[in-house]
């Protein structure tokens, strides 16, 4: 029976990230998978199912909350800064290396949505990662923003962001925006039917995490993990893409996949951005598990 324990990871600036560590029944040291959620997400939002499935197959699994989200420390709360999240994730990898249950030469990374972009960056820049899965990944914050926002609305968004910046310079708290709304008429960042269902079915009752700082939106627009995709090789990369995407249009993801070098694999699922977590959970998790099993085991054989 898989055991899940609470653990803490100390960042390079002294904050505490809180995480779940899943320990399989199999005798160690075992290959390991490090996981995190996407933009505004926490480990409570559907990641336990993935982690347990991977752990039941014999992997040690670490699932952490990004700083300022969920149980992890950090202020202002619910603040997204992608390169800070990546630096913290490297500390999570370092933590895994210290565990006696882990074979430090067989560590894989799984990220979804915004953190799918992090998987690409980590796969390209951290030699400790032996294979990567990027599920419905962010590729280009700028291009995604262009697709989402009508040209006549861009100036208004920028002026609002500048007002927030000026207010913070005088000591004000950052402004917040709603992450997932209740339909297309909402002012939230995500309003599609699959987003609403995700929030209804996978966000724990009473969770107050449905906001991010307004400046998070700007940070996400400046994030370009797709520029790293050619550099992931020779680390094996799997991309899981939903073909009916509207959050991160599928053609942006597919164009990035074409630029990626071998070894790589593309998994296409016929849904929207949030469907991988529930409607197509079996397909998305089976594909990732197969990728990790193949490439982390191959690493062991090569060693």
Note the pLDDT tens digit of each residue in 90-144. Answer: 999 999 999 999 999 999 999 999 999 999 999 999 999 999 999 999 999 999 9
Is residue 171 situated within a structural domain?
A: no
Is residue 55 situated within a structural domain?
A: yes
Is residue 158 situated within a structural domain?
A: no
Query: Which three-class secondary structure string do you get for the chain?
Result: CCEEEEEEEECCCCCEEEEEEEECCCCCCEEEEEEECCCCCCCCCCHHHHHHHHHHCCCEEEEECCCCCCCCCCCCCCCCCHHHHHHHHHHHHHHHHHCCCEEEEEEEEEEECHHHHHHHHHHHHCCCEEEEEEECCCCCHHHHHHHHCCHHHHHHHHHHHHHHHHHHHCCCCCCEEECECCCCCCCCCECCHHHHHHHHHHCCCCCCCCEEEHHHHHHHHCCCHHHHHHHCCCCCEEEEEECCCCCCCHHHHHHHHHHCCCCEEEEEECCCCCHHHCCCHHHHHHHHHHHHHHHHHHHHHHC
Q: What is the pLDDT along the chain (303 residues), one digit of tens a residue?
A: 899 999 999 999 999 999 999 999 987 799 999 999 999 999 999 999 999 999 999 999 999 999 999 999 999 999 999 999 999 999 999 999 999 999 999 999 999 999 999 999 999 999 999 999 999 999 999 999 888 877 787 888 889 989 999 999 999 999 998 888 766 555 667 777 777 777 777 777 666 578 999 999 999 999 999 999 999 999 999 999 999 998 899 999 999 999 999 999 999 999 999 999 999 999 999 999 999 999 997 543 333
Is residue 250 situated within a structural domain?
A: yes
Is residue 110 situated within a structural domain?
A: yes
Is residue 99 situated within a structural domain?
A: yes
CATH of the domain at 86: 3.40.50.1820
pLDDT, tens digit, 9 for 90 and up, residues 139-170: 999 999 888 877 787 888 889 989 999 999 99
Task: Give me the number of domains the chain comprises.
Answer: 1
Is residue 197 situated within a structural domain?
A: no
Is residue 53 situated within a structural domain?
A: yes
The whole domain housing 54 covers 3-140+224-302
């Amino acid at each position: 029976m898989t055991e899940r324990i609470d653990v803490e990871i100390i960042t390079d600036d002294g904050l505490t990230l809180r995480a779940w560590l899943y320990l399989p029944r199999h005798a160690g040291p075992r290959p390991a998978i490090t996981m995190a959620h996407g933009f505004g997400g926490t480990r409570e939002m559907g990641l336990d199912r993935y982690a347990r499935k991977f752990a039941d197959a014999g992997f040690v699994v670490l699932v952490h909350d990004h700083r300022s989200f969920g149980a992890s420390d950090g202020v202002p709360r619910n603040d997204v800064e992608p390169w800070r999240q990546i630096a913290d994730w490297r500390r999570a990898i370092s933590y895994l290396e210290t565990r006696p249950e882990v074979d430090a030469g067989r560590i894989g990374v799984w990220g979804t949505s915004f953190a799918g972009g992090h998987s690409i960056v980590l796969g390209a820049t951290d030699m400790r990662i032996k294979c990567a899965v990027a599920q419905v990944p962010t590729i280009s914050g700028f291009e995604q923003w262009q697709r989402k926002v009508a040209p006549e609305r861009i100036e208004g968004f920028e002026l609002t962001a500048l007002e927030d910046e000026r207010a913070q310079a005088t000591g004000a708290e950052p402004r917040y925006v709603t992450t997932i709304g209740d339909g297309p008429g909402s002012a939230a960042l995500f309003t599609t039917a699959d987003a609403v269902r995700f929030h209804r079915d996978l966000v724990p009752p009473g969770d107050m995490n449905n906001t991010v700082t307004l400046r998070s939106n700007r940070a996400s627009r400046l994030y370009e993990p797709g520029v790293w995709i050619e550099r992931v090789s020779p680390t094996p990369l799997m991309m899981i893409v939903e073909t009916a995407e509207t959050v991160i249009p599928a053609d942006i993801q597919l164009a990035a996949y074409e630029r990626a070098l071998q070894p790589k694999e593309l998994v296409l699922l016929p849904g929207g951005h949030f469907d991988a977590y529930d409607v197509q959970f079996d397909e998305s998790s089976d594909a990732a598990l197969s990728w990790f099993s193949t490439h982390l085991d191959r690493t062991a054989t090569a060693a």
